[in-house]
Structure 1
């Protein structure tokens, strides 16, 4: 796992390194600057795999460093001094008064000047490049660091606007100036970087949108923070990587049978929505579940019989209109007592009021883990306190709209207006708080998808693409998570693995066919290849 820090967590690591371990801030700043210089030389002047724009190689003749008045600016002074000493043409522009500089930033400002680096007021930058045009240069954004907590105003906003209009590649130090490192939100305006070099740990704002779009290619550099601080259990947000998924899948034992890999019951489907049930079931089987049964309204049996192959069908009492009735609960519980390992609820169920009564009964009475999606989520939106009463682990997989409906009856947010905006502006904290309050595992679909546990841990997923914003992909994910639980993974691991592999499959398809033509069944088709690749 790659731990992801908040601004406050990173500040504590920095202070503890200085005060407890005796590594001065000046040393840390020097190392940070040297790391950025190494990356710049790597990107622009070396034959490297990191070059994403071939025209940049050996092209940049001038280094423009724009510095703020804090420690981010101090890093910029180090970069300027070192690159000047390497014989590069360096221009430095300071968006503060020299008298206002303090501590390590002041030390490195003085050192840069002693080395012969010319440092001019930022007004010269604004005048020197009036149309934002500059050739054969690279811009170092050392204006604002990770501590930003208010909107950027003039003159900083003028500088950011000017830089964004220039055609030169931009390297941001730690985080693009103007991006909140905790939420990824744009604080008025923000640098659009091509590369970002950060230190110690990545920050939330590197992965949360729109910050992720402004970060560009991210490099995480070791500048000497003690490993125990970086690996602290107090940092509860993680980014999921492929190697994390590899460790979750033991080899199938030779002495096993289909029952070894679980039996998933999927309560799904209604008139006009049978496809959702089938996609969830097929994804479940392709992800490795031993057995899958679809519980459907009995009046839809004819429509299903000709379309299932490996799946089994459990006809359930309905209202005569292709919608399940409350009376289906008894049949479902009887099935679960005899053979069920996991209960999935929701794909294509419909928004009928009786569905709400049925889902409530299932959540209260199930003794096996429950995965709830789509109409299953809508069915409990008016009674989220019900989730605390569940006897079994519950995994919720809402998209932002469904999350907003779940929040209406919760006490997590004070106001109920603009819930969608609140969710997008503070995805991690909202999903973490909801998971804690309800005692559930929550998969808030992306970008990026965040998985939160009731224990206060969250996992940021980086796979997936806009091509997956199409009907049925959520049903596929429900089937995949259910299958992983059936095979013995914990709810948190099952959700994390399901989300990662689901997105990974989507990325492979997008690479092969493009994003516009991607459909949910493509993901099911490619799952065997993706699972083999992940496990290998």
Structure 2
């Protein structure tokens, strides 16, 4: 059983090894016993997926990952399976527990020569298998896989077999999800004791296939005391828990008027780019907040005439260009100060240098929480050190905007944690790195999406997401708007966006499906 509170926690290789070591040393549970528990749970799962007695290949290296595979092989053998064991690196130099499991198999074959068990050293057996147990490399891999081992992996991948990876697919980096030269494509990855971050990041999300956590008798305090950043998975199944958590925060807010039920301000739009504001404002309104107001110049305002009924407009000074510039900054800040709310800054705003300068000036003046998106993110590039330290900020870049802002497009949790240190408002900040997977990070925690975020690869998704975030955040009492609650709101908005996108996608591909709601 997984200890309560750790169902969605992810761990690095170092954290996992430390938990394993402390369980052995401090609790006195032998490593061989932990391996046996892991193997039993893995074998049970494999038997559920592949109940018929078939011939399987057990693809083994030298470490404890090989020990897991060998123990699983023994348990499947006892269920009537035929097993061919490929000792890809030979018998010498195996870890103690792996060698012990190998000796058990050898003794079983000595006692019963008719047992459907064969051993091969350094080569694949020369036939195609439908089921493979992957125990070549585990979480300790730090160098590229090359030579004969890479060729073996390529050959197994060509079979398109049902590969059950022990802990992590061979060739995958356990922390980053990077492919170390080459990697096996798993059908199912059976993660032992802890969910490995590399199975969710980078290529790991695709190469791990179905991810199954096999609990080990790790005490909760060791999981809790794991040093380093807290990583969590973000899955649709966690949506009710987030909704309940935010509902409890909202209970502390007295609502007697629409302006006490959450105010959202949207500052964006420029000639030819008003659609982004429309999507953002309508998404915010759909969350149930009390009011949504759009700041607009007189030149751009007519573009909204056919779209806004419930959403009001606030005119700001313009110079005839339709762009947001310095002369409008103070007017915007004063409106928000008079009736506090949440500001969405950036959708369709444009990248004119004077507009970018006005964005930075406004961020120094406004006291409200800000969701910074699109052109607002671009305006911040090279100027993060000038932000006030008390600004409450959610930044939502796509990979291109992120590269412009931080210098890298593909994010890793530790990179984001380090990057946030360059923001003066780092203690009041959430960073959403869009991508597949998407990462939501504060200085102390990172959440990684477990679902297929490619469904979000559509024009306007970021605008809708920004509106949902702002709408949800606006309904919380101001005193509760912290980095933690902003992280929860961002996570819930992601899951709500996923639900809406999935609904619309299913409607689009099914002529008989009802019309989908939402803003996509």
TM-score of the aligned structures, taking structure 2 as reference length: 0.89
Between 463-472 and 477-486, report the one with greater CA deviation: 463-472
Contact 1:181/1:203 (<8 A) preserved: yes
1:24 aligns with 2:24: no
1:12 aligns with 2:18: yes
Per the alignment, in what secondary structure is the counterpart of residue 184 of structure 1?
coil
**Superposed counterparts of 1:492-511, under 5 Å:** 492-511=487-506
**1:310 aligns to what?**
310
The counterpart of 1:205, out of the listed 198, 201, 220, is: 198
Per the alignment, in what secondary structure is the counterpart of residue 340 of structure 2?
coil
Residues 333 and 492 of structure 1, relative CA distance in 2, 3 Å threshold: same
**1:461 aligns to what?**
449
Residues 523 and 211 of structure 1, relative CA distance in 2, 3 Å threshold: farther
Contact 2:261/2:289 (<8 A) preserved: yes
**1:437 aligns to what?**
422
Residues 201 and 509 of structure 1, relative CA distance in 2, 3 Å threshold: farther
1:99 aligns with 2:97: no
Residue segments in structure 2 that go unaligned for 5+ positions in a row: 1-6, 110-114
Per the alignment, in what secondary structure is the counterpart of residue 115 of structure 1?
helix
**1:248 aligns to what?**
245
Shift of 1:468: 1.9
Contact 1:200/1:230 (<8 A) preserved: no
**2:3 aligns to what?**
none
Residue segments in structure 1 that go unaligned for 5+ positions in a row: 46-57, 409-418, 516-520, 527-536
**1:349 aligns to what?**
349
For these two proteins, the number of residue pairs brought into alignment is 486
Contact 1:3/1:236 (<8 A) preserved: yes
Shift of 1:436: 3.1
**2:258 aligns to what?**
258
Q: Deviations over 1:297-335 (max 9, x none)?
A: 221122223321110101112231221121111110110
Q: Deviations over 1:46-79 (max 9, x none)?
A: xxxxxxxxxxxx4x61121111110000111101
**Superposed counterparts of 1:289-328, under 5 Å:** 289-328=289-328
**1:403 aligns to what?**
402
Find the aligned partners of 2:145 and 2:192 in 1 and give their Cα distance: 23
Q: Deviations over 1:75-117 (max 9, x none)?
A: 1110111111222211111012212113111111111111227
The counterpart of 1:239, out of the listed 227, 233, 240, is: 233
Shift of 1:244: 3.1
Shift of 1:201: 1.7
Q: Deviations over 1:130-162 (max 9, x none)?
A: xxx34xx31111110011111111222111111
Contact 1:464/1:507 (<8 A) preserved: no
- RMSD, aligned CA: 2.1
Contact 1:464/1:503 (<8 A) preserved: no
**1:470 aligns to what?**
458
TM-score of the aligned structures, taking structure 1 as reference length: 0.86
**1:452 aligns to what?**
441
The counterpart of 2:473, out of the listed 485, 488, 503, is: 485
Residues 463 and 327 of structure 1, relative CA distance in 2, 3 Å threshold: farther
Shift of 1:435: 2.2
Shift of 1:463: 3.8
**Superposed counterparts of 1:27-106, under 5 Å:** 27-45=33-51, 58=52, 61-106=54-99
